[in-house]
């Protein structure tokens, strides 16, 4: 259970970082 939660958290943070990077690069391209 703890391992599953860790994996889920890792996948979520990876997804969040990818979304953040996408937003940042989009904003940079707009400037």
pTM over the 0.85 mark? no
Angle (nearest 5°) at CA 6 between 10 and 18: 10
Q: Rounded mean pLDDT of the chain?
A: 86
How confident is residue 2, by pLDDT bands cut at 50, 70 and 90? Answer: low
What pLDDT does 13 receive? 86
What pLDDT does 20 receive? 92
């Amino acid at each position: 259970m703890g391992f599953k939660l860790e994996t889920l958290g890792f996948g979520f943070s990876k997804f969040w970082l990818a979304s953040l990077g996408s937003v940042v690069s989009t904003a940079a391209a707009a400037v």
